[in-house]
Structure 1
Amino acid sequence: MKIIHTSDWHLGQHFMGKTRQAEHQAFLSWLVATALEHDVDAILVAGDIFDTGSPPSYARELYNHFIVSLQKTATKLILLGGNHDSVATLSESKSLLAELNTTVIAGVSDELAEQVLVLKQKDGTPGAIICAIPFIRPRDVQQSLAGQSAEEKQLSLQDGIFKHYQALYQLALAKRAEYPQAQLPIVATGHLTTVGASASESVREIYVGALEAFPTSAFPPADYIALGHIHRPQKVGGLEHIRYCGSPIPLSFDEAKQTKEVLLITLNHGGLQAVTPLPVPRFQELLSLRGNLAELEVAISQITAEQNVWLEVLVSQDDYLSDLPSRIQAMIGDKSIEVLRIRKERNTAASWQPGHTETLAELSPADVFSQRIAGEELEPSLQKQLEGLYTEIVLGLQEAKP
């Protein structure tokens, strides 16, 4: 059986005022062609399909058009909700999409059996069992108790997620017993951070003050674990069968040099046979240049006239001048380069045009709070205490949400 593992599409994302619509359209068209080329049985999307809970209409249109286009490949589609996705938004078309060979698991179900799927191959024979686990919110798996500290809530959440995985894995084993001749492999999913995963600046906190990282050892012994949320493709703990596929397009400048990919998973009755990275073409070039004015001029001169580049400039030394934007623009000349951000290297955001500064979308709420109190020159013990109180307050507010 062949499965494409992908995640973190973030349809509808605006990047420093620029839409990613054309890039996402190109990626989704490429994905349909790739599924056809490799005769894939299923595509598994491990969360963060949309960038926000209320995606713009064009993002919904991209989503719907992709699902319809995929029908010509006879490929099964499994869509899992991420922390950026709205359970209500994904669920609203769930019944309709089921008629289009698409299963949507927007959030944790009250009936756990609904998250255990027998995945069929194109010839109609069972090929794998999926423990379809979306992003898990604290209220899905834990009960808040009065007087709990932030640390106790973290441990409680970790235990709740562990029990959820174990319960679904036991259901998957029971389901596999119904097909004794097939010896079906088991695939689990997840949308969370695991211990040792390497993130990037575009990965916002999953849940402020909640679980920071789920231990790799706490996953059940599935044949393959398809993860989402971290945008950098990687093995977890060096393990071949626990993978982040990463986002298909770079969502921040620090992802610009990454090779973006989806993962082609091959399974049979013996379990996982191969994981093959399929590089995703770069549909819009992002480039981050660092240096003083002389170094920047050399670097910009090496960009060819044919390249269409979105550029970030990180200025070092003492070259941060009021006329810097015009100097950079003079270096660019008539090349197809659009400067999206100029900033000083020492964490001081700068404007490259009037009114353009680093936006709150680039920071997590915890980042904003930490930066605010860092400016007060407090004792380290008091700063840590305030951060702990902030965490407890945010957790209490989140748990109070209906």
Structure 2
Amino acid sequence: MELNTFKVQLVLKTNKTNKKGLVPIFAKIFLNGQKAEISTNRSIDPQQWMNSKQCAKTSSPFNKELNQFLESFKTKIYQTYSRLQIADVTLSILSLKEALNGNRIDRQKGLIAVTEEHNHQFEKLVGIKFSFGSYKNYKTTLSYLKEFVPAFCAIKDIPLLEVNYKFCEAYYTFLTTEKPCTSNGANKHIQRLKKIINYALRAGYIKSNPTATFSLQFKPVEKQVLSWEEIIKIKNLPISRSVIDQVRDVFIFQCFTGLAYSDVKRLRPADIQPMQEGELWIKMRRQKTNISFSIPLLEPALDVLGKYLNDGEKYSPVFPVLSNQKMNDYLKVIQELAGISKNLTTHLARHSFATSVALNNGVPIDTVSKMLGHTNLKTTQVYAKVMDSKIAKDMQELKVKLSGNLKTESNE
């Protein structure tokens, strides 16, 4: 059983002397590394106080009566502490103060326990409502909380109502200083924490959201993409090793379809359907969000697809896709072979489709959003980055047009 440390001291608040020269007496409570001060609503002449004995000098009937009151006040605190222990309530300064104020304290679940419960329920819906990647992120958040909570409050778990602004602020500092988290990465963990608190709210474990005052501020991140020339360079790169060639094929297929890693891995021949005029389209639901999407296959994607389609295997994966980590390891080899400075990853291919293949060639952003399976157009807008090559091309066309107009005007 977890041991609690508890102590009560009576102290004077000498910085709050009133007009009569009296100072208030406070009870200072120490519990598991936390501390709080509670007013006794009594005052005394500091000359009549004995710090070493935490009581008034017994030189007068008034002081004797005061000491009896203070002893009763301390006893009440200890009795309340014992009552909470017997009730098996998660002990904290907050629960103790609430009990001292006469409020009923029911057994309250702790953050770690609720996070474990949430993750257990979340795991049941992986592949149905949620992706395995999202589940892994919640597992990481739980791991970090198990490390942070004991350091923050000196106990293994913390009552849900104490997961407040101060907790979130300290957790953010922990994530950005002691863990390999960027500012946005730390905010993602706190975003998941807020969702866990909302789960507790819906489950009826708490009646208010203690994290509501902590706002998340994500820094805008510019998505890195490959230029059209870089995509073609990788597409035409001579590669002799078969496994690396297969990784290149999957990457190029992603560059011309925008499929995320999880979706290209589970792509089946049954997901490729003939549409109008004999065109082939991919029709699937995103594993991450379960949103349906449709993508007409461009010629480079069809060229790759032709190497892997098997007429007899309608429901088997089209591509021999390795784990995401292995894919990215081999993509680093391709990056070096192609002499490209950008960090090749499976997700970079999706970014490159959105920007270099689609948007920069005039495909409207709402169409790109539908093909990517985004639920919100704002998600797609982060890809709407006009590349220098497109600017140069457009400005060159403008120069030609303006030059023609000027010549026409001069001839007139």
Q: Which has the higher contact order (CA 8 A, sep 6+)?
A: 1
Query: Greater share of strand residues, 1 or 2?
Result: 1
Larger radius of gyration between Structure 1 and Structure 2:
2
For normalisation by structure 1, the TM-score amounts to 0.21
The structure with the largest helix share of the pair is 2
